[in-house]
Amino acid sequence: MKLNFFHVTFLVMLLTIPGISSASETVFGYSIELDIVYGQGKVSPDGTIVTRDLQLDVYSPSSENADYTGSLKLNDGPFPAVIYVHGGAHHRGGRRVEPFRLEAAVHSRPEDYARLLAPLGYVVFVVEYRLATESPEPDLEPGEEGLLEDVESYITPEVFEATVRARNAMGLEPLENTPEDKLFLWKAGMAGAEDVLNAIKFVSENAARFNIDPSKIALGGHSAGGGITLNVGLGMNAPVAAIFPLSGPDILFEHDAIARNTELPPTLLIYSQFDEHTQLGQLPNIISLLRKAHADFQLAWVPGFAHFYPYNAPSLGDDGTRMSVGDRIVKFLEQNLKK
C-alpha cells in the first residue's frame, strides 16, 4: 500500500500518543519500563501522615540496535547504571514532565538524559522523590547523624528567597520567614535525599533484575536534583562510583565531617554562567570541601545560559576543554564506570 501524507500523519500521531509502544524505543537503542515502585515515603498533605509509593522509570540499552551510532558495540551486560534526579526547587518536576523554559532556553528533561545515555550502554533510572507540596516527613531530624544542627545553616536567606521565587512561579502561597517554614523546607530537602538513597539501595539489591553491575552506579541531577546528588553522594556515604551534580546548591551535612572522608566519589560539577545566585554563591564552599578531602573532581561552566540549559549546550572545562554538557557527562561516565 502506498502511503500518502494523511497516512503518514496518522501513524506519527499514533506513535506519539503516551502509552502506545513506538518502534523508536528499539530503533534508538533502548527499551523502557515505567512506574516501578522502589520504596515508600511518609507525607502529610492535609496534616495527617500517610505513606505513599515512590516510583522510578528504567531505560535499558537495546542490544538489537547496538550499532545505531555506527561504531558502538554493546555486550549483553551487566551494564553500568545511572540514577538521574530531577530538579524543581523541591516543589515541582518529576520523571516525565514538560521542559522548563527560562530566558529563551529550553531545559533538557530527565528522560532526555536517559535517552542520551541508555543507547551508550547505561541502564538509566529516572527517579521521583517526595516534594515540599506534599509536606514530607523524613525519618531523620535536624542534628542526627552529622546533619546540620541549625536548620538556618541550610535554609539561608538566599535559599529561602530562591524557594519563594519558585513558589510564586507556581502560584503557591508565599512562605513566611519563620522557624516553622524553614523547617518545612528543610524536611523537603532531607526527604528527597532519603528517597534517592533508598532508590540506590533498591537498584543495587535488584542488580540481576535490571542487568547492572552494582559496583558501577553513578548519580546525577539538576538543581534540586543536583543538591540531592551532593547530599547522597557526599554526605550519606552512598555506594556510588561517581556523581555529576548540575547546578546544585549546598549540602545538608557538616562540611568538616565530609572533608575528612578520603573516599568521596569522583565528582563532575557543572554550573551555568548566569546560574542562580544561591548556587554560584555556595559553589566555593563545595569546591573547598572537595579539595580538603583530596577528592577527584572536575568543574565546567555553561557560558551564556541561566539556570536552565539543554544537554547540547556548550560547556567549558577547568582543563581547557570545550564540549557539550551531554558529551562531558558521557566522557566522565566512561572514565569512571567503564574502566
* pLDDT > 90 fraction of the chain, expressed in percent and rounded: 64
Q: Is residue 120 assigned to a domain?
A: yes
> What is the spatial distance between Cα 27 and Cα 40, in angstroms, rounded to a whole number?
34
Q: Is residue 61 assigned to a domain?
A: yes
Q: Is residue 21 assigned to a domain?
A: no
Residue 207: all three cell numbers together = 542488580
Q: Rounded mean pLDDT of 3-8?
A: 41
Q: What is the CATH number of the domain that holds 271?
A: 3.40.50.1820
Q: Rounded mean pLDDT of 216-234?
A: 96
Nearest of 78, 93, 173 to residue 131 by alpha carbon: 93
> Residue 297 belongs to what domain range?
30-337
Nearest of 28, 173, 170, 182 to residue 112 by alpha carbon: 28
> What is the spatial distance between Cα 266 and Cα 82, in angstroms, rounded to a whole number?
14
Of 211 and 147, which is predicted with more confidence? 211
Kindly tell me if the per-residue pLDDT of 71 is higher than 90.
no
Q: Is residue 13 assigned to a domain?
A: no
Q: What is the pTM of this model?
A: 0.88
pLDDT, tens only, 119-144: 999 999 999 999 999 999 999 877 66
Of 150 and 330, which is predicted with more confidence? 330
* Alpha-carbon dihedral angle through residues 92, 96, 98, 104, given to the nearest 10 degrees: 80
> What is the spatial distance between Cα 264 and Cα 242, in angstroms, rounded to a whole number?
9
Kindly tell me if the per-residue pLDDT of 153 is higher than 50.
yes
Please give, one letter per residue, the 3-state secondary structure of the chain: CCCCHHHHHHHHHHHHCCCCCCCHHHHCCEEEEEEEEEEEEEECCCCCCEEEEEEEEEEEECHHHCCCCCCCCCCCCCEEEEEEECCCCCCCCCCCCCCCEECCEECCCHHHHHHHHHHHCCEEEEECCCCHHHCECCCCCCCCCCECCCHHHHCCHHHHHHHHHHHHHHCCCCCCCCHHHHHHHHHHHHHHHHHHHHHHHHHHHCHHHHCEEEEEEEEEEECHHHHHHHHHHHHCCCCCCEEEEECCCCCCECHHHHHCCCCCCCEEEEEECCCCHHHHHHHHHHHHHHHHCCCCEEEEEECCCCCCCCCCCEEEECCCCEEEHHHHHHHHHHHHHCC
Phi, psi angles (nearest 5°) of residue 108 = -70, 135
Count of structural domains, the chain? 1
pLDDT confidence bin for 304, thresholds 50/70/90: very high
Do the Cβ atoms of 64 and 49 come closer than 8 Å? no
Nearest of 39, 19, 127 to residue 81 by alpha carbon: 127
- The total of other beta-carbon atoms located within 10 Å of residue 126's CB is 25
* Residue 171, phi-psi category: left (phi > 0), alpha (psi -120 to 50), beta (remainder): left
Q: Is residue 1 assigned to a domain?
A: no
Q: Is residue 40 assigned to a domain?
A: yes
Render the burial of 16-31: b for 16+ CB within 10 Å, e for the rest: eeeeeeeeebeeebbe
pLDDT, tens only, 15-62: 333 333 333 344 578 999 999 999 999 999 998 999 999 999 999 998
Average pLDDT, the chain: 86
pLDDT confidence bin for 159, thresholds 50/70/90: confident
Question: What is the reported pLDDT for 152?
Answer: 80
Do the Cβ atoms of 77 and 206 come closer than 8 Å? no
pLDDT, tens only, 228-281: 999 999 999 899 999 999 999 988 888 888 999 999 999 999 999 999 888 999
Question: What is the reported pLDDT for 4?
Answer: 46
Q: Is residue 22 assigned to a domain?
A: no
pLDDT, tens only, 82-102: 999 999 889 988 898 877 776
Sheet order of strands, 322-324 included: 30-43, 50-61, 123-127, 79-85, 212-222, 242-246, 267-272, 297-302, 314-317, 322-324
pLDDT confidence bin for 14, thresholds 50/70/90: very low
Q: Is residue 20 assigned to a domain?
A: no
